[in-house]
Structure 1
Amino acid sequence: MTWSTGFFGFVAGLLIAVVTAPVGVSGAVFLLPVQLSVLGVPSPSVTPTNLLYNVVAGPGALIRHARKGCLGGPLTRRLALGTLPGVVVGAVVRVFVVPGPGVFRALVAALLLPLGLWLCLRTLRPPRTDTARSAPSGPAVTVLAVAVGVVGGIYGIGGGSILGPLLVGLGLPVAVVAPAALAATFLTSVVGATTYALLALTTTGPISPDWPLGLACGLGGLLGGYLGARLQPHLPETALRLLLGGLATSVGLLYAVQTST
């Protein structure tokens, strides 16, 4: 890795994390097109590289949330309980079933585009009933987290970019979802990156992460995540929900365009 590539990765990680951390998203999902299309990281190596980014960048926002006493609640435990085994399954699927970037991008577009639009519409035109009553139950959250963990293991995004829009759209406030989703993303990424490292020992091909690039992006995300978490209390709930929906929609559109070209 050249110094210019490392610097570009650092700046990209910083800027992305500043924008995404307030809504509980690590930003790894936005690094995927940068790594695939700009930096030329091969597939499936791009997935563990993104997980490495989450591992390095995650503590930035988590430290800020911990100081405010927002970590360690029941939502965090349920998300981790589901995503941790799910990411192991997702890593195996990514290596042996879905190695090509074309299928990879199509799946991201099909998932995040409708999810983001749904959250934006639900925010602008909320249902007449109290949204708190529609919040998912504890077991439902765990089952959802398992599925998202599998998806996160395949995509290398930790799952926060999916869990955030889903849980907020189902009625939970962003201030509750954001720290829990970031904590689950961090734990899931540690397990996912370790799984890929073990698979690389027994499988040929570009499976190991790009360590220098992942660390460079992660250091930028570490700083950006802390700054983004400090920004969150100053933003109204509606703005946070629209930001989260807009992020999911824009990523879905980006991958839809890349898939069609």
Structure 2
Amino acid sequence: MSWWQGLLGFTAGLLIAVVTAPVGVSGAVFLLPVQLSVLQVPNPAVTPTNLLFNVVATPGALLRYRRRGHLGGPLTRLLVLGTLPGVVIGALVRVFLLPGAQVFRLLVACLLLPLGLWLCVRAVRPPHRHSAPDDPSPGAVTALALAVGVVGGMYGIGGGSLLGPILVGRGLPVATVAPAALASTFLTSIAGALTYAVLALTTPGDIAPDWTLGLLCGLGGLVGGYLGAHLQPRLPETGLRLLLGTLAIALATLYAVQALT
């Protein structure tokens, strides 16, 4: 890896985390295309490399949320209960069923497009607050976390980038969802990265993470996540959701075109 790739990885991790940490997203879902297309991380090693980014990056934001007393609680436990087994399943699917770059790009596009549309719609037309929303049941939250954990294990995003928008869309406050989603992302990324490391010992191909690049991206995300969590009370939520949604839609379009041409 050249010096400019390391610098680009650190800078990308920092800038993305500053924007995404306030809404409970580690930023891995947006860093993934940079690693895949710009930094040329091979498949499927790009997935554990992205999980390594999550492991290093998310403690910065979690530390800030902990200092404000927002970390922990029943929501965090429910999310972790579902995402931990899900990320292991997703890793196995990624290695043995979906190793190809073209299929991977198409699936990334299918992931990012609905996420981006969801964020934009919820930013422009927030749910009505005339009556208190019904909180999702613990069983529904855990089932959702399991499904998202599988997706996170396949794509290396930890799952928080999906859990955050969905739970906020159900009416839960961002101040509650953001630290819980990031804590879930942190723990499941550790499990996912270890799963890929074990698979690399017995399975041929580029499966092990790019340790240097993952650590550099993660260090950038560590700084950016801390800053983003610090800025959360000062940033307009509507603007953040629109920014994330627009970026996700643009990336989905790009990857769909690349996969189909």
For the criterion TM > 0.5, the same-fold answer is: yes
How much has 1:251 moved relative to structure 2?
A: 3.6
Tell me the equivalent position of 2:188: 188
1:119–1:27 distance in 2 versus 1, CA, 3 Å: closer
One-letter code of the match for 2:48? Answer: P
Cα offset for 1:245?
3.4
CA change 1:92–1:132 in 2 (3 A) is farther
Q: Does 1:87 align with 2:87?
A: yes
For structure 2, list consecutive stretches of 5 or more residues without a partner in the other structure. none
Aligned ranges 1:1-261 → 2 under 5 Å: 1-128=1-128, 130=130, 132-261=132-261
CA contact (8 A) 1:167 1:177 kept: yes
Aligned partner of residue 116 in structure 1, secondary structure: helix
Deviation (angstroms), 1:129: 6.1
AA in 1 matched with 2:197:
A
Q: State the SS of the aligned residue for 1:259.
A: helix
CA contact (8 A) 2:133 2:170 kept: no
Give the residue type in structure 2 aligned to 1:118: W
Alignment RMSD = 1.7
Q: Which moved more, 1:125-134 or 1:250-259?
A: 125-134
1:44-70 deviation per Cα after TM superposition (whole angstroms, max 9, x unaligned):
000000000110111110110010111
Q: Which amino acid aligns with 2:252?
A: G
CA distance in 1, matches of 2:165, 2:174: 9
Letter of the 2:70 partner, please give it. Answer: C
Q: TM-score, normalised by structure 1?
A: 0.94
Q: SS state of the match for residue 133, structure 1?
A: coil
Q: Deviations over 1:114-134 (max 9, x none)?
A: 232133223322344647424
Sequence identity (%): 74
Change (3 A) 1:254 1:26: farther
Report the Cα offset of residue 135 of structure 1. Answer: 3.5
1:115-159 C-alpha deviation (Å, 9 max, x unpaired):
321332233223446474244222111100000000000000111
Contact 2:30–2:248 (8 Å) recurs in 1: no
Range with greater deviation from structure 2 (121-130 or 55-64):
121-130
- Give CA deviations for 1:204-235 in whole Å, capped at 9, x if unaligned: 10000000111111111110110111111112
Is the contact made by 1:131 and 1:170 (CA closer than 8 Å) also made in structure 2?
Answer: no
8 Å contact kept, 1:116–1:165: no
Conserved 8 A contact 1:18-1:225: yes
- Larger mean Cα displacement after TM superposition, 169-178 or 179-188: 169-178
How big is the shift at 1:243? 4.0
User: Retained in 2: the 8 A contact 1:22–1:232?
Assistant: yes
Q: Is the 8 A contact 1:131 1:171 kept in 2?
A: no
**Contact 2:57 2:223 survives alignment (8 Å):** yes
Q: 1:77 to 1:254 in 2, by over 3 A?
A: farther
Q: What SS is found at the alignment partner of 1:201?
A: helix
| Distance in 2 between residues matched to 1:41 and 1:215, nearest whole Å | 14
- How many aligned residue pairs are there? 261
Structure 1 gap segments, 5+ residues each: none
- Using the size of structure 2 for normalisation, the TM-score is 0.94
Partners of 1:182 and 1:165 lie apart in 2 by 12
In 2, Cα distance between equivalents of 1:119 and 1:31: 18
